[in-house]
Amino acid sequence: MKTNAVVIEDYGDSSKFKDQEIEIPDLKPKQILIKVAGSSVAPFDIAVRNGVFKNDFEIEFPAITGTDVTGKIVEIGSAVDKFEIGDLVCGMVGVKGFGAYSEYAILGQSKAAKVLENIPTEVAASLPMTAIPAYNALFDLGKLQAGEKVLIHGGTGGVGSMAIQLAKNAGAIVYTTAGNDFDKLKQLGATKVINYHEEKFEEELSNLDLVIDTVGHYTYKHSFEVLKKSGRIVSLVENPDDKLADKYQVEAMYLSGKFDNPLSKVVKLVSEGKVKINVQQTFPLNADGVRDAQDYYEDNHVFGKVVLLK
């Protein structure tokens, strides 16, 4: 069986995307095939397109990029036991995987979760790459507890805006850094929003239990100053700085580990209205749409997500 897909035949800018028919490979035992209803733009997808990771892992061209996916299951592998044909799911396509910028995509069942009926497609399409890293960083690595104080950098981002809500929902006191949308971030649960254009967060905050860093560089280095002794810092973008960790007597971690997939927990919170995703702009899921969506993401301030819909 063949599918229409958006492919790149080489690394490069967004003009590389083109529509092409591709043969769908046979499913491995624990994989599911879904008819794609939506996807989204994640910074990771743009980095893969640009070849940022070409020395870390190889992708085969023509390659179908795109990580977030939602749609109905049309076929299941022989050992799939969590899902049935017809289930509506969302999930994260493996980096060397098939989809998500495609008519059909292949997902490992461990990377997927059922989508509850009241969740709009554009929200389901935005969930995996925001919910999974935010949850893993806060709870699996960061060990956040109710009543603790957490600083989440990049509050307007996909991961940051999700992390603010998950942390608040877990009973934490949440601080965030952002350049825009201050009132909206307070509505999501931030007690204090620090404007990174005008203020130094390290002069505003101290004695925190946890920092989640989605920004890196200066932001990462100065985050050590706001932690209490034995505090924790989890970065999504920087390897642990052991010297700073020793100096400030804190634990520094990088989010790369494999944890149980928390997606169904977050799907439930979204369905109950406890967690929201702001979809700033949608584009059609074809080569022109993917190009325009990634260009829009790179050229504009985005609060939340840019989504691709079939």
Ligand X SMILES: NC(=O)c1ccc[n+]([C@@H]2O[C@H](COP(=O)([O-])OP(=O)(O)OC[C@H]3O[C@@H](n4cnc5c(N)ncnc54)[C@H](OP(=O)(O)O)[C@@H]3O)[C@@H](O)[C@H]2O)c1
User: By the criterion CB under 6 A, which residues form the site for ligand X?
Assistant: 42-44, 129, 133, 153-154, 156-160, 177-180, 196, 214-215, 219, 236-237, 255-256, 301
Question: Whose Cβ is closer to ligand X: residue 133's or residue 231's?
Answer: 133
Shortest distance (Å) from residue 151 CB to ligand X: 10
Cα–chain-centroid distance for residue 97? 17
**Shortest CB 42 distance to ligand X, Å:** 5
Containing 253, the helix (H) or strand (E) segment is: strand 251-254
Is 121 or 136 the residue whose CB approaches ligand X more closely?
136
Judged by beta carbon, residue 36 or residue 215, the one nearer ligand X is 215
Nearer to ligand X, 184 or 228 (CB): 184
Q: State which residue has the least CB distance to ligand X.
A: 157
Residue among 83 and 201 whose Cβ is closer to ligand X: 201
**DSSP for residue 102:** B
Q: What is the DSSP string of 134-155?
A: HHIIIIIIT---TT-EEEES-T
We find the least distance from the C-beta atom of residue 214 to ligand X, in angstroms, to be 4
Note the helical H segments in 139-275: 158-169, 182-188, 201-204, 218-223, 242-248, 263-271
Q: Measured between alpha carbons, how far is 57 from 195 in angstroms, rounded to an integer?
A: 37
Which CB sits closer to ligand X, 27 or 124? 124
Shorter beta-carbon distance to ligand X: residue 157 or 189: 157
> Smallest distance from the beta carbon of 223 to ligand X, in angstroms?
10
User: Are 261 and 113 a contacting pair, CB within 8 Å?
Assistant: yes
Inter-residue contact 64 to 22 (CB < 8 Å) = yes
Distance CA 259, CA 59 (A): 24
Shortest Å distance, C-beta 29 to ligand X: 26
Residue 50 in 3-state DSSP? helix
Q: How far is the CB of 74 from ligand X (least distance, A)?
A: 28
Burial label for 147, CB within 10 Å (0-12, 13-18, 19+), is exposed
With the C-alpha atoms ordered 65, 70, 76, 79, is the resulting torsion angle positive or negative? positive
Min separation Cβ 44 and ligand X, Å: 5
- The two three-digit tokens of residue 51, written as one number: 């070849």
